[in-house]
Amino acid sequence: MNNIESSKSQQKENLFPLHQKLRSKISLRCKKCRDQIMKPDSDPISTKFYKSNNATTVLPFIQISPLLNNLYNNKFIPNSKVQLLMSFINYSPQEMEISISSLDKLSLTKNFTETTSLSDNFIKINLPCSSFKLKQQPKNPLKLENLITTIPTVELNNYSRLSRTELINRNKVIKRLSTPSTGNSQTVPLDSGINWCTIPLELSIGDLSQNLNQYKTQLKIPFFISIKQKQTENIEQAFGIWIIAKLGYIEA
């Protein structure tokens, strides 16, 4: 009899709801300007956010690609010139003014330090187009017909009918992205769209004869990007960031 009662009590315990840890919703503000960064929905059972600001609302998305129709295996060889493309995409609701700069010469013996040696143990960096504007993100950006226009030409593929149609509409710039004439005369973007721009990046890799043991060193290029945004007619936000682009490896 006791066994029957104990088994019934165990069955009742199994019917009790599982314990859940207490949870809370918090909102975040910037400690300096007190602007609201994140605010959850007031509904207790909702997981949505009433307001959420991410890095993409103030920073451009940056992608480095090879020339169109060229293979890129992340390997570089000494005594060569490499042409790449840098694409900037603006996902914020405000227009951006972008300025980009880097070192003229990058030493391989000292990270991110301009070399004074007369040898060819360095990489020259050429950014002929260093200033441009990015328009704001279009309305309803998740609609397919709007989303396809926010993709730079160099990043488009022919896997879908919509992207193939978009490539046909941009046919005039494909040759320019396949064999761009860089040099200091190319002071405007090679290609631009509704909220993006593509600029040339040229690297001249030296002889590196003094660094035979560093042929498999990872190639890292530092860039400084300054950004200006108009929040309102009277308020302008300006700041700068450093980024380090890991482009690949230098091999013999």
Q: Give pLDDT tens digits for 48-61.
A: 776 666 777 788 99
Tell me the torsion sign for CA atoms 236, 90, 75, 68.
Answer: negative
Residue 9 lies in a domain: no
Residue 234 lies in a domain: yes
- Reported as a single tens digit per residue, the pLDDT across 61-79 is 999 988 876 666 677 887 8
Residue 155 lies in a domain: yes
Q: How many domains does the chain have?
A: 2
Q: What pTM does this model have? A: 0.74
**80 and 120 both lie in a single domain:** yes
- Reported as a single tens digit per residue, the pLDDT across 232-241 is 777 788 889 9
**50 and 64 both lie in a single domain:** no
**68 and 34 both lie in a single domain:** no
**How many Cα atoms are found within 13 Å in the side-chain-facing hemisphere of 100?**
29
- Reported as a single tens digit per residue, the pLDDT across 126-179 is 998 999 999 998 888 888 888 999 999 998 888 888 888 988 888 878 777 877
Structural domain harbouring 113? 58-250
Tokens coding 22: 């207490």
**47 and 145 both lie in a single domain:** no
pLDDT at 150: 92
Confidence of residue 225 (pLDDT cuts 50, 70, 90): very high
**109 and 160 both lie in a single domain:** yes
**Cβ contacts of residue 110 below 8 Å, gap of 6+?**
none
**40 and 119 both lie in a single domain:** no
Residue 2 lies in a domain: no
pLDDT at 33: 75
Confidence of residue 112 (pLDDT cuts 50, 70, 90): very low
**162 and 92 both lie in a single domain:** yes
**140 and 157 both lie in a single domain:** yes
